[in-house]
Amino acid sequence: MALIGLRKSFVRGCRQIVSRRIYVVMTIVLPVALTFFFLSLLGKGLPTPVPTAIIDNDNTSMSRALTRQLRANANIEIRNGATSYATAMDMVNRGEIIGFFLVPSGFESDAIGGRKPVVSYYCNMTYFIPASLIYKGFKATAITTSGSVVRTSLVSSGMDENLAGSLLQPIVAQEHPIGNPWISYNIYLTNSFVPGLLALLIMLTTCFSIWEEIKKGRSRQWLAVANGSMTVAVVGKLLPQTIIFSVVGVFVQSLFYGYYHLPMNGSILAMISAMILFVIANQSFAFILSALIPNMRLAISIASLVCVLSFSITGFSFPLESMYSALSIWGYIPPVRHYFSIYINEALYGLPLYYSRISFAALLVYPLIALAFIPRMRTIARRQLYTP
């Protein structure tokens, strides 16, 4: 009897999906479109080259060498047209450049004479990421220029050239970025934003499909098709959505790690399993909200709020370890946090599955918790009362 009820509920769930275009848009069109949007937006990894300018008021061999160093930076594009501070600021205000480098007159003579010339660089920090890139490039160029001036002075005074270089840089520092050696925003942001948006679409679709039955007065029929079993009714309704979202999620992963060659240092099967559990966990979370909040609009609003806040409180943009303890606890509630942890351990670090066991277990907890709300949803379905 249970299998018959499950089959009938599954067919009913499939008919509900094809009955309205909104379900096709939410389950297939939007996830795929958003994936390609972020992959194309962040395809280069960094927003480079960043347009900038240099104002050379000295026009000497040393200032021209400084200009060549800036042009050699792959992250910076030197544009012509800035002849003074006023014209450069006007270009910044018009959005033609993000910042500019100002070399004062008398730069070479002051440097050789030991009078500490001041080299200025201005960045429009409204555009934080590109401004940070040119700020880093400007600062590195200024430090290199300062070191070359000191090195020239020491060699001129009779010091050995190799000894002067050792004094200026006694320790050589090597950078080895772990997990993202290319410093690519595509690797980090795309793998966090797309699952977060997918979680939003899953929760909205789940809440809407459940409450549509109650709103249109079909909840008793929905329960009767499952032979009075609310568990069978819910599983049968959500199973078609689970299959569609899982297939779309695995397709997204194939784009990430297959076509676009984003890092996959661990087990692809673990990531596919995490995606399927991620879909089920978000559906379970949405079902819990639907059972707790007896109003479609409020349930959908709360689901949207949880998903939007998850971008900030689950460690995407700010580490949980640095948050206040009372706030960091909430970061572990949305399922996307645990999927993100699995992604870091499996795809970026290539750690054994053992290190992701807690995150996998956390994703399995959501459907177990949802079982506790089956009686309440049965009561709501039998009463068939909709509060606008």
pLDDT, tens digit, for every residue of 158-185?
A: 666 666 566 656 666 677 777 777 777 7
Entry pTM: 0.83
Reduce the DSSP state of residue 100 to 3 states and report it: strand
pLDDT band for position 5 (cuts 50, 70, 90): confident
Boundaries of every domain in the chain? 2-43+184-383, 50-168
- Matching residue, tokens 């995150």: 359
Identify which has the larger pLDDT, 137 or 339.
339
d(CA 308, CA 316): 12
Q: Tens digits of per-residue pLDDT, 70-80?
A: 888 777 888 88
> What crossing angle do the helices spanning 268-292 and 296-313 adopt, rounded to 10°?
140
Q: CATH for 50-168?
A: 3.40.1710.10
Average pLDDT score over residue span 228-242: 93
pLDDT band for position 148 (cuts 50, 70, 90): low
The pLDDT value recorded for residue 338 is 93
* Residue-by-residue DSSP string for 316-336: SSS-GGGS-HHHHGGGGSSHH
What average pLDDT is seen over the chain?
A: 85
Alpha helices per DSSP H over the chain: 2-19, 21-24, 30-41, 61-72, 85-93, 107-112, 128-156, 161-168, 185, 191-215, 219-225, 230-254, 268-292, 296-313, 325-328, 335-343, 357-371, 374-383
The set of residues, in sequence order, having a beta carbon less than 8 Å from that of 58 and lying 6+ positions away, is 103, 104, 105, 106, 107, 108
pLDDT band for position 135 (cuts 50, 70, 90): confident
